[in-house]
Amino acid sequence: MKQADIAALVKRFIQYKLTLAFAESCTAGLLPSGLIEAQGASSVLLGSIVTYHPIAKRKLLGVSQQTLDVYTAESQQVTNEMVMGLHKKLGADVCVAVTGLCAAGGSETDEKPAGTLFFTFLYQNRAEEHRQEFEGSCQSVRQQAVDFVYTKLNELLDRFPPDQNKLTD
């Protein structure tokens, strides 16, 4: 996503008086790094918690060991627990979590190939889950994930009435 588009996204968050936070695994800090270049980002972005390793997911976000054991660290179930832990810690109006496989290894299977990422967007006590498969190098997959998140955030704000301060149905 172009910097001008990111700046417009930040302006929309400011317009609607919304805060934003990220819980990241495979993107490893890329989500907020794109936003901080935009004017006003400090009034929108509460923070990002990078939990690359399962230990960090457990200790920092409260992901249960049972969920990790049953579903693996790269799963929608873990992403859901990550976003709930993030919301509990930071309380942002919009919370986003991402985890997945940028490269071969880990919990890769035929049903979950390298490039499979899981996202959960939490707002107004609602969670939206997304599973996406991206292709390319690890760097390319990470950048595609960032662009996906920014696009989905814009779509979320499209459902937001311009005369109100919080998201609605």
Given pLDDT bands bounded at 50, 70 and 90, which one contains residue 162? low
| 3-51 residue pLDDT tens | 889 999 999 999 999 999 999 999 999 999 989 999 999 999 999 999 9
Specify the pLDDT at position 106. 75
What is the three-class DSSP state of 9?
helix
pTM value is 0.92
Closest C-alpha to 36, from 49, 25, 46: 46
pLDDT classification of 169: cutoffs 50, 70, 90:
very low
Q: Is 138 exposed, middle or buried (0-12, 13-18, 19+ CB in 10 A)?
A: middle
Q: What pLDDT is attached to residue 112?
A: 85
Tens of pLDDT, residues 59-69: 999 999 999 99
Q: Where are the beta strands (DSSP E) in 9-159?
A: 20-24, 45-50, 94-100, 116-123, 126-133
Where exactly are the structural domains of the chain? 3-158
CATH number of 3-158: 3.90.950.20
